[in-house]
Amino acid sequence: MKVVIVGAGFGGLETATSLGETLGRNAEVTLIDKNDALVFGYSKLDVMFGRTTPDAIYLPYRAFSKVGVTFRQETVTAIDPVARRVTTDKGVYAADVLVVALGADYDVAATPGLADGGQEFYSVAGSLKVRDILPTFGGGTVVVGVMTPHYKCPPAPSEAAMLMHDYLTERGLRDRSRIVMTTAMPSPLPVSKEAGDGILARFGELGIECITGVMPTLVDGGARRFHLSNGSVLDYDLLLAIPVHVAPRVVLESGLAEGGWIPVDKATLATRFPDVFAIGDVTSVGTPRAGTFAEGAGRVVAAQIVARSRAGDVARYQGDGHCYIEFGEKQVAEISVNFLGGPKPTSHYIGTTPEGVANKRAFGSARANRWFGISV
């Protein structure tokens, strides 16, 4: 059986790893990604605030070694979901089973004025730019602006605001600075009232303002004014943006997407094309865009591929995940959520614990070890 997985992020890596572990040489798995290394999403926060060096965040795909799986660093240029054929800049791959795990891209230009008036920090390049800008910042109003209701890692904007508090405090600039977060959501983390209230309480302690239920309408970089959908305008000195997210162009051109994202069966992650699955940020499955959900989806898809060659029940996708939330001052909160296991989402907010920092570190090291055999 030939399995082709496009995208070696959280979802693709977990699918390939599970298949390698279970099927070994009984399947021919090809994993394709345009990059030469994985970077964890949260590493971008660490980079921009100087908590780590850029060299330390790359997990090279050359260290990915699983029986029966071949990694290819190539750019996918076309996907034919009917023929299950993938074209890259270097070749063509025919698949018995195709797994699309290409994540989400950013469309900075979708927000008028943002390209000139603010700086996104959701890409590695963007976080490196912020890292270079911050030392030149002499205090003032920092706006963490969410430009879209649908973005990766729902707690990340709040984390950026709380880590900004730490950064400005360490540089002696906090007293002459204001930190404001804006979001289209009704709360910083709507899935859990407890977690949203926990973040707001922490914002209160740290003096961070939060404006909810607003979308940006214009970034006026010349006047440094941020216009919001409720008619208000924020004067800012530094605008850190979470840009509009879009499915990669190759997905939009493939016929797989509807309404901008790939629809899938919520229990199986199957697309409407036979033997074509889609997982993670590129889908409209209904879970937040976060690695913990993408890898869970990867495990469920791998189990279904294995079930083709072995009898047995296959667990339905539950849309569950466990997330860590940086609360500033070396505190980390935790929340577990399940989106698809019952009639409505459930969550368990754990809050900050003495083990929070170590637990988050263990989350990263467990994946670095499982996928790359690397200790971090």
Residues 45-74 contacting ligand FAD, CB under 6 A: 45
Q: How many residues bind ligand FAD (CB under 6 A)?
A: 35
Stretch that binds ligand FAD, among 182-190, 263-271, 277-285, 336-344 (CB under 6 A): 277-285
Give dist(CA 190, CA 193) in Å, integer.
6
Stretch that binds ligand FAD, among 3-11, 59-67, 177-185, 231-239 (CB under 6 A): 3-11
CA–CA dist 135, 171 (Å, integer): 9
Per-residue x/- mask for ligand FAD, residues 175 to 214, rule CB under 6 A? ----------------------------------------
Of 12, 118, 196, 216, the residue at the interface with ligand FAD (CB under 6 A) is: 12
Of 7 and 319, the one with the shorter C-beta distance to ligand FAD is 7
Distance in Å, CB of 152 to ligand FAD, minimum:
4
Q: Which is nearer to ligand FAD, 217 or 359 (CB)?
A: 359
Instruction: Tell me which of 35, 217, 347, 352 binds ligand FAD, using CB under 6 A.
Output: 35
Find the helix packing angle between 10-23 and 356-372, rounded to 10°. Answer: 60
Contact mark string toward ligand FAD, 330..359, x via CB under 6 A:
------------------------------
Task: Find the binder of ligand FAD among 16, 18, 44, 163 (CB under 6 A).
Answer: 44
Grouping H, G, I as helix, E, B as strand and the rest as coil, residue 81 is coil
Provide the pairing of β-strand 97-100 with 105-107.
unpaired
**Is 314 in a helix, a strand, or coil?**
coil
How far is Cα 71 from Cα 196, in angstroms, rounded to an integer?
Answer: 40
Q: Give the residue with the Cβ less far from ligand FAD, 224 or 292.
A: 292
Question: CA 165, CA 159: separation in Å to the nearest integer?
Answer: 10
CB-nearer residue toward ligand FAD: 177 or 283? 283
Task: Please state, in angstroms and as integers, the Cα–Cα distance from residue 309 to each residue in 105, 305, 372, following that order.
Answer: 35, 8, 27
**Residue 349, φ and ψ in degrees, nearest 5:** -90, 125
Residue 187 Cβ vs ligand FAD, minimum distance, rounded to whole Å: 18
> Using CB under 6 A, which of 81, 118, 196, 291 touches ligand FAD?
291
HSE (CB half, 13 Å, CA atoms) of 165? Answer: 22
Residues 107-126 that bind ligand FAD (CB under 6 A): 122
Distance of closest approach, residue 365 Cβ to ligand FAD, in angstroms:
14
Q: Cβ neighbours of residue 221 under 8 Å, at least 6 residues apart?
A: 113, 116, 117, 118
Closest CA to 189 of 227, 146, 243, 226: 146
Instruction: With beta carbons less than 8 A apart as the criterion, state whether 124 and 45 touch.
Output: no
Residues at the contact surface with ligand FAD, assessed by CB under 6 A: 7-12, 32-35, 41-42, 44-45, 75-76, 101-103, 122, 152-153, 156, 248, 250, 280-282, 289-292, 294, 323-324
